[in-house]
Amino acid sequence: MINVPFLELLPAYLELKEEIDDAVSRSFATGWYIGGKDVELFERNYAEYCSAKHCIGVGNGLDALAIALTAFGVGPGDEVIVPSHTFIATWLAVSMTGASIVPVEPDEGTMNVTPHGIASAITAKTKAIVPVHLYGLPCDITAIKDIADAHEIPVIEDAAQAHGATLEGNRVGSFGTTCCWSFYPGKNLGAFGDGGAITTDDDAIAEKARMIANYGSRKKYVHEVIGVNSRLDPVQAAILNVRLAVLDKWNERRQSIADRYRLAFRNAEFEMQSIPTECRSSNHLFVIRHNDRQGWANDLAAVGIGTQIHYPIACRDQGGYIDSNLPLTPIASKLAAEVISLPIGPHMSPEQVDAVVHSVVALENVD
């Protein structure tokens, strides 16, 4: 029996061991452990990769969202539109500003928020819209931006899972919005610890975000606004510079596995995430919906196939929000009861991919 863990991080290091070890050694040898040239280089490189004017490295993806929202002036009394079905960081960032969350239900096929849903949720109090490219699949950001522009509302994309994903051939991060990223180790572009970034074409927002992330300061010991301490460490930036160079290649490996799964499972009774023809997912996660999720997961575990759930409890049903007066989100709750993720990653061996395919096909009794 071939064991297929849901996630393995070590192979990503081993493939680039020489380059990463060298980059880390050089970073340590600078004697500069906050900011510095490694961070500046990564910010330039990632801004260029995203076709954005600015990149501001921060401590993690949640910080990126909260700082971006704050830079746009979001605060108490404001409303921020977010997907109901997402990782909770999207919601937490809004709560950190003191603004009110306005959840919008997703399309059940793509599991992404829709332009129509967002348009129907806009009020006079809407201060920002935070769409999410869930599991690496781009939402319809062009239509969402058109709606937002018509109401003069900023769009802050949560692209924590969508490094390198494209819509109509254009990478996420290149649509003229402010975009927030996570470099958590399991991401397509992952650090060896926490990390995050904000990309934007807006000079004023970039300057404000950088200031907020540095204790509210542009000049040492002069603090113009209330800020936080959120930095991308130089050693993580050095590692990210190495890994950015292979991001597209590793995404292609993910795509080939996703293609194999989709072909093999085309007649299965479960539902795979719908991928619009104009989209190319980063395939950060391969998520299906199953009406007997736990039984299915147990059967796969019995033959050595790891699975995970993204995410088992809808944000509205979590402890921090369950007693709130927010509207119920039945579609998000339904998805939370059905979704399950299969292993996918650039370092899965052909034998591991075969094992997943054969095990799922056998369980589903399909050809």
Handedness of CA 32, 36, 37, 39 (dihedral sign): positive
What pLDDT does residue 73 have? Answer: 98
β-strand pairing of 279-280 with 166-167: antiparallel
The string of pLDDT tens digits covering residues 94-117 is: 999 999 999 999 999 999 999 999
Task: Give the mean pLDDT of the chain.
Answer: 98
**Whether 73 contacts 209, CB under 8 Å:** no
Neighbours of 330 (CB within 10 A): 12
Q: What pLDDT is recorded for position 366?
A: 73
Task: Decide: helix, strand or coil at residue 365.
Answer: coil
Distance between start and end Cα atoms, the chain: 21
pLDDT at 251 over 90: yes
Long-range CB contacts (within 8 A, 24+) of 207-213: 208/71, 209/56, 209/67, 209/68, 209/71, 210/56, 212/67, 212/70, 212/71, 213/56, 213/58, 213/59, 213/63, 213/67
- Tell me what pLDDT residue 192 has: 98
Tens of pLDDT, residue by residue over 115-128, are 999 999 999 999 99
Report how far residue 36's alpha carbon sits from residue 32's, in angstroms, rounded to the nearest whole number: 6
Report pLDDT for 242.
99
User: Which two tokens mark 174?
Assistant: 């290149």
Residues of the chain with CATH 3.40.640.10: 9-105+112-241
**353: helix, strand or coil:** helix
Q: What positions carry a catalytic annotation?
A: 187
Whole-number percent of the chain with pLDDT over 90: 98
Per-residue pLDDT, averaged over 263-268, amounts to 97
What is the structure's pLDDT at 367?
Answer: 67
**Confidence at residue 358, expressed as pLDDT on a 0 to 100 scale:** 97
Q: In this prediction, what percent of the chain has a pLDDT beyond 70? A: 100
Residue 35: Cβ-neighbour burial (10 angstroms; 0-12, 13-18, 19+): middle
For residues 207-226, give the mean pLDDT. Answer: 98
> For residue 335, what pLDDT is reported?
99
Place 287 in a pLDDT band, splitting at 50, 70 and 90: very high
Assigned fold of 9-105+112-241 = Aspartate Aminotransferase; domain 2 (3.40.640)
The CATH superfamily label for domain 248-365 reads: Aspartate Aminotransferase, domain 1 (3.90.1150.10)
Which residues in the chain are classed under CATH 3.90.1150.10?
248-365
pLDDT tens digit sequence for 303-358: 999 999 999 999 999 999 999 999 999 999 999 999 999 999 999 999 999 999 99
Over range 280-289, report the average pLDDT. Answer: 99
pLDDT for position 176: 86
What are 1-15's pLDDT values in tens digits?
899 999 999 999 999
Determine contact, residues 338/322, Cβ cutoff 8 Å: no
Query: Can you give the pTM of this predicted structure?
Result: 0.97
pLDDT digits (tens, 9 = 90+) for 49-101: 999 999 999 999 999 999 999 999 999 999 999 999 999 999 999 999 999 99
**Mean pLDDT across 196-224:** 98
